[in-house]
Structure formats: structure tokens, C-alpha cells
Structure 1
């Protein structure tokens, strides 16, 4: 097809685009304000939350307490309750804060806590902060609040398109993101898991919602998590908000705008949560009000990638040059398995090294089950295309594969009530080993989590915690998904429903041929190690 002749207007647009790219490529990070080292507040029985969890800090056996939180409404209730009852400090570290009802509600509650005298530290990855600067500046204008950004964008902050130009101009730096999710109140109670702070992670979106998981914890593991937070907060790759987003407005003007953007008209108060969760326990807000926060005793340990993982020199991958990553620690834990491994993850790309690892585990007789998103329901289709290339070999090895499907969710009476008309997608990230311990956190099972992004995880050990996780994800009674199998005697993949009807499909369910073709073409140009 011949090229269209260049018009003066099109030439001007090209020049403008080239100029923006040049500016983006040349814009470096500003000087980082050097601030005194800021440590976490330690748990104390002088605070309400410290008093409720004191037993886990007074013991000498290293036992922590945990609560499994698979239900979105109760996970959001827990966060709001902890903010409202905090008396000393709130430390939040997140990959994504939504410019929606949930994100605005969280910010408003943090403001109210700061007004009570609570120290608020909010650390955000800067990738998804488009349009958030006015609210962040407004919150930071309140006493007792400090906000910092991980590996920030310097130019083009106001629009997604200009951020992508900046991303292209500084790809080697901006491609590294902080994927951690951590919430700590008064140094006494923490929440870790897969959820970001946005509507779709708490079943509040009309379009699509996530099946996700959080763990609430107290005791020695929270002390470890606070150390991790401090390492990031004081890291050289983290910048104070005002270094990146200077403002000439008065604090009063910033606060007034913040109050308008996060008012109850913009983000209504939460409706009362269910009276109990799926395990029969009351909401965290109710438990705190009753002065009795019951947690499951567990041995737990927190691990996280070094924040300087984002600054690794290309090719410098020798273990002696850097601390072990969360992904490497996870693979080492898999080698300790004696009977079975259950992996639940939205994105699964084992890669050649992962396939070799699976082969070694299967050779020892370890049963491996993987649950991930189907092509039709993933929010990252290119990841799914790469996962697809490993399915046949995994099935030959005897790996059990399940794929989550909105169409199957709609066939389940209970889940249909939860998701209503929205699509349902898997976002939880956990591995269950020998039904005795679990690794829960932000880590996806793909190259981006292993080599590019920073991640955080907590290992929980104990029968009761492990079996609540098994129950939460119906590991022993799988429904509302497809089981992926090989057609007997062939390498052809089939999808079998798990709702008791055992319907067999011979083509990728719920995804049309045009979608599959487009994704296949795109997959030729996007290296799997960037996914």
C-alpha cells in the first residue's frame, strides 16, 4: 500500500511527537531530598490495636496470628476499621491506588486519621498515578502525612499517552515497578496479599471484578513487614512527592480541593459488611469494637525483593551480586515439597527454567496443580498466549490445570450472586505446599515478577491456615472453572466443565477466533521476559 503524502499538519504532528519523545528521553530525575531515616512505629499495648494483639508480641516462641480474607467486602472493611482505630501510625505500600470510590474512600480515611494525630506514610508505585496528583498533594498538605513515589515519572504525568512516551524514552528505568502490597496499622496489625486499593479488587466495579485474597496478621511477622516497609521508604529509588510534583498553591487550597475530590458525594461511606465471613468469623470492624480480634496461631516469615532490584545492572545476575529474589526463595521452597503443590495465580508463564523445575518435581512424584485465568477472562491476554505455549508439555508431565471462566462463574448460584453482571477474573497469588504451609503475597508466576518488578510475600505455616486457604479456593471441590486436558492419545487440548455436567470443548472457550489471531500476532513482537 503506497504511503500517503505528508501534509503540513501531519509534519507538524510528527515534529511535535519527536520533540515530546526527545524531552521524555532527556528528562532525568531531579535531586532527591535527603531526609532523616524514618523508622516504623513498633507495636505497643498503649494503642488499642497493640492491646488486642499483645499476646502475639509477648510470646517468646515466634508465633504470629493470621486471618484468611478471601471476600472483598470484608477485606475492605478490615482496612477501613484499622485506619479508624489506628492511634500511632499507618504505613501503606501499594502498586495501584484507584481514582475511584475505593481509592478516594481510603484517602479520605487516611486524612481523618492524620487529623487525629496518626502518622501516615503512603508509598505508591508511580505507574498508575495518572490524575492522582491533586489528591496526593492535598493529602500531603495535612499535618502528619508524608507521601513518596517509587521510581517516578518526571514528565508527562497528567495523561496516559504522555506517560507512555516517557516510558519509551526511559524504558530501562521505568520498566521496573514496585508491585508490593502492604498495609500496617500501629506496627501491630498488617494486611498482605494480592489486592490493590481500587474498586475491582473489592467487588465494587460494574464491569469486571477480581477473585483475590488478603491475609491479616499480627505478631513477629508484622515486625518483619515493617522492616521491609522501612527499607523501601528510605530507599534511593523512592522520592518524596514534592520532589516530583512541586506545587505553588497554598496548603489551604490543596486541602480544600482534596476535601472536594474525596467527599462522600464522590466516595460514599461503606455499607455494613456481612455479619460473618465464609468461616463464621465476624468482620474485623465488629471484632475490634467487641475488643476481641481472634487470629489463628501460625509461624510466619516475610520476604521481599530489595528495592534496588530495579537498579540491577544488565547481565549482573550472579547470586553473589544481589540478595535472593522472592521468586528464587519460592522455587527453593517448592523443592522442600513432599507430596503436592497447588499454585493459584492470574498469570502463569513458567519459561524453560520453570518447566525444568516442574519436571524435576514431577520426577519425585510431587503432584502439581495450577489454577489461572482463561484466555477469555484474563486482563493480560498476551501473558495468556505465552502460558498457552507451555500447556501441552505440562499436561504430558501430569500437571493438573484449571482455568477460571466468567461463563462458568455465572453457572454457579453462589458466585453469580457475588459477581452479578460483572466479569470474574482471578487475581489471587498463592502457593500451597503439602497442605501445611502457604506463600501469599504480590508475586505472580511470570518473568516480570521474577526478574523486573519488586515483590513481597509471607510464608504461613500451619494446618488451620492452609486448610482455610484450601477451602477458600475450593481446591478439593473445584467448580466454576474449566479443567484443561489432553484429548486421549493426542496432543490436542480440551476444556472440561467442573460443574458436574462434564461438558467437553475442543476450542478455547469463550474467546473468538479473531481475538486469538490478534493475540498470536502480537505475541511475536513482545518478548516473554517482559510479561
Structure 2
């Protein structure tokens, strides 16, 4: 969902929560009164190689086709291929576009596509645009490019301190963010899942990387995803970039500086397509396109997204009903489980209602397994303090809990090979019901996803797809994780893991010192659970 930078904003805002809401509630700055042109997704383009690929891949009429992408290199190859091969339209909606090799590669290919005549619509949440603002201002000067921002900062945009002041003075509004992640090319192929557009989501960071999941989509679901994009693009919560920040110079100067940043070999390591088949034995999308056929699993599916107005706190924009949220539909699907629920969520804070829904499932005899990050592994360790509040209660109900650990993952050769020796963190957001229904998207199982951020997800009815993904994550033989269990005497929890040397059992939070736990506990006193 986020990185340590958002944690800093959360903690500062939370510590000042009472002051910000009581003393400064009248200081919110007005949003720009900017006219925006309504636009709609373009239909699939004749002559597009992406349209031809989707049409030749054997997706039955009225259904959608899916291919899971658990490996970072293949997920990046898919996006770069869509960018390079699009002939008509590119619609990208993201929470985070990084100021790094992946982020610059995406911006470079968006520029190149626009120069080929492709219409580019780029919609970003405004929380992380400070470091790339100059690039965005330059990119929008190219013909065929339009950039819009969701729930933008209205002053202090050029500095962290200025944005922080804006955040605190307008906390009630700016606490709500667009967490959606959608990538649509030529109205024919799309990518939906948990990955943002930055190095660590594609295993290209030297320090820490995320284990994540996307699905490549063709067929019936793509127009639905385009309609969701249009709903956001034309909403009252979205503003043109030029309405909140003016370009500091002539377009030609901006474009030259942009070209240097996105093309300089020193700043932009070469990104090569994978040579080997993926974990399921299939080629990367770039090669599948050359071969003229992409493997898809056909299935019936739906796409759901929160209304953009979920993030609007203005009095004349009442919040949507909870029944209209992605979280509600996620819970409704889980409640239909007959035998098994498997949940992957990097940030897992179920709240009292979530615990009761899982209790209902256990009372029906449904097996429930949850995989999340250990405190030491999470990029948001304070979230784990909220998760700990429910851990023993869940275990006593019979819920099985697993925590991804840097130490445990180091004992798994496959994980270490995937991570390239860097620190690994779970970021995939998915759930499986009865090994038949697959839910994947941007939503975490926490109150922030339920009530503060907007989210998107797809629900897919496919035992075949469920098996492919669960096998890729070795869900029937978890490795690289600790299983959290009640101690034999029932007094607290312990962590157990298996490796070639035998079983390892720990009675204290793995890889976290007493001092670290105490600091997090103190911080947690100032953070309402719905801000985690």
C-alpha cells in the first residue's frame, strides 16, 4: 500500500490529529476551480498488435481471459510491452509513480507513445508526486498527453515541509487517497493488481523488494476497467496537473531536461526482457506478442471499485454507503465460502467486525488461513501493532496465521533467488474462496482500505487460475514464513518455522528488539486504528 514515507505522514498527522481537526479545521485551503474536459476510453483500435493478440488468444465470447504475473521481471515486461506496442490509447491510474529506474522508464515510454500519436491519460494520486513533479510538468507539454491528479495538495507542493503543512492544515481531506492501480492499453489488454510503478515492486531495488501479484486481462473485463477509469478521470475529485502547478519555463526547455533525465544511462539501468519462461512455464508478454498468442485462463469475472467520492469530505458530497465499497463486496464473497478461505494481505488489521466475519466462517467449519508480514519485515511496522490486537483472538478461533520473515525467507532458495539477495516483503493483496473464486487488486484488509482510501479489485471464478496462483505461492507448503501459534500453556503466542535443520520455535517477536517494540507501542497510542 505504501512506503516508509507515508508512515511519516501518518505519524505526524496522527500526533497532531486533535489539533488539526479542532484548531485547524477552518484552515483548509480551497481546491482549484479548474474546468476539465470530459473524455472517454477509446474503443479497441483496428490494426493494433495488442488487439490482434487479445483476439487470437481464444477467449470465449462474453468471458475474460487472465494470466497471473507473480514475478516482478515479467510484470515489468508486460507493462513496457503494452507501452511500446500501443497504437491508439494508454490509460494509467496509479497510487505511486517512482523517481527511479522503473518510474523514468514508464515516463519515457509514455512520451514515446504520445509522439507516435497515442492518446495518453495518466491519473496519479498526489501524495507522492513531489519528487517527479518536474518530470510530470514536462511530460504534459507533449502533444497527446494529459495528466490529472487525485485529491491534490493545494500549496507547498515543491517541498516536503510545505506539503506536510498542507497535510496537517487540511488533514480531513488529504487523509483520503486513491490507492487504485490499473493499466489499460488500446482498450484491449489491461494489468490489475498490487504493484505500483517503482523499482521495489519489480525486484529492482538493492535494499528491499516487494513480493506482489498482478493479472494480465483480456476480453470482457477490459471495457469494465475502462469505465471505472473514466469514472475517476471525469470525477470532481480529480484535477488537471496544470490547475495546481504551473510549468516553470518554456516547453522546449522542459522537454530537453526531461529527455536527459529519462534517457541518461547513468540514471536509467537497462531493463531487459526475461529470457526464461515464467514460473508457470509461459513466455513473457513481449515474446508472446512476437509469437502471436498469449496464454489466458478463460473465466467469468467482475471488476469493482470504490466511488471517487469516497475520498471527498466536502459537505455537499456525502460519503458513499459502505455497501458500495470494495471492502463490502470482498467481505460478502468471503461469507459465501463453504470450505476454505486463504487471504494474503501485507497490512492486516481486521477490526472487530472483520474478526466477527472470520468467526462466522470458522463456526461453519471453513478453514481460514492468513498470510501477512512479520513486524520486522513490514515497511509499516506500526500496522503490526494494530494486527497484534487481534492475533490471539484469531488463533483461539482456529484461524491459521503466517508471517513472512526476512530470516525465514533466507532459508528458502527459491525466495532468495527471486529477491536477488535483498530484503523481501509481502505486498500482494489477494484472497481465495473454496479454491475457486480469486480476488486480486489494491485492497488491504484494514480500516484504511475500508473507509479512507479508494480501491479497485477483480473477482474471478476460476479453479484453474486459483490453482496456478496458489501453486506459485506454495500455499499448501508455505516456506520462508513463520506460523504463529498459541503457546502450549495458552499464555501468548509463539512463532515456529521449519528448515533443513529442523523446527525453530521463538517465543518473542522475531527480529525485533524490546526497545523497537516499546517505541512502536508508544507511537501506536497516538494513532487511531482507522489511520493504520
Q: TM-score range by the shorter chain?
A: over 0.9
1:18-417 equivalent positions in 2, closer than 5 A: 25-35=27-37, 37-54=38-55, 59-60=60-61, 62-265=62-265, 266-312=267-313, 321=321, 324-417=324-417
Partner-residue secondary structure (3-state), 1:131:
helix
Q: Tell me the number of residue pairs that the alignment of Structure 1 and Structure 2 aligns.
A: 509
CA distance in 2, matches of 1:98, 1:513: 34
CA distance in 1, matches of 2:36, 2:288: 41
Partner-residue secondary structure (3-state), 1:511:
coil
CA distance in 2, matches of 1:254, 1:91: 23
> Cα gap change, 1:317/1:123 in structure 2, threshold over 3 Å: closer, same or farther?
closer
> Cα gap change, 1:22/1:262 in structure 2, threshold over 3 Å: closer, same or farther?
farther
> Cα gap change, 1:317/1:510 in structure 2, threshold over 3 Å: closer, same or farther?
farther
CA distance in 1, matches of 2:505, 2:259: 54
The aligned residue for residue 14 of structure 2 is: none
| Cα drift, residue 38 of structure 1 | 0.4
Partner-residue secondary structure (3-state), 2:499:
coil
| Cα drift, residue 472 of structure 1 | 1.6
| Cα drift, residue 58 of structure 1 | 8.3
CA distance in 2, matches of 1:47, 1:323: 39
Q: Is the 8 A contact 1:105 1:269 kept in 2?
A: no
Partner-residue secondary structure (3-state), 1:443:
coil
The aligned residue for residue 518 of structure 1 is: 519
CA distance in 2, matches of 1:174, 1:332: 29
CA distance in 2, matches of 1:178, 1:318: 15
CA distance in 1, matches of 2:24, 2:223: 45
Partner-residue secondary structure (3-state), 2:425:
strand
Q: Is the 8 A contact 2:36 2:239 kept in 1?
A: no
Q: Is the 8 A contact 1:122 1:146 kept in 2?
A: yes
1:482-501 equivalent positions in 2, closer than 5 A: 482-499=482-499, 501=502
CA offset digits 1:361-396 (Å, max 9, x no partner): 111111100000001010111110010111100000
| Cα drift, residue 55 of structure 1 | 5.5
CA distance in 2, matches of 1:238, 1:68: 31
Partner-residue secondary structure (3-state), 1:368:
strand
Q: Is the 8 A contact 1:44 1:51 kept in 2?
A: no
CA offset digits 1:93-119 (Å, max 9, x no partner): 000000011100110011111111111
- Larger Rg belongs to: 1
| Cα drift, residue 57 of structure 1 | 9.7
| Cα drift, residue 43 of structure 1 | 2.1
| Cα drift, residue 209 of structure 1 | 0.4
| Cα drift, residue 89 of structure 1 | 0.4
CA distance in 2, matches of 1:318, 1:145: 31
CA distance in 2, matches of 1:119, 1:323: 35
Deviates more, 1:289-298 or 1:38-47: 38-47
CA offset digits 1:298-334 (Å, max 9, x no partner): 11110000001111579x9997x57610000001111
> RMSD between aligned alpha carbons?
2.1
Q: TM-score, normalised by structure 1?
A: 0.92
CA distance in 1, matches of 2:159, 2:468: 43
CA distance in 1, matches of 2:323, 2:236: 17
| Cα drift, residue 194 of structure 1 | 0.3
CA distance in 2, matches of 1:209, 1:171: 30
CA offset digits 1:221-249 (Å, max 9, x no partner): 11100000000000111000100111252
Q: Is the 8 A contact 1:56 1:220 kept in 2?
A: no
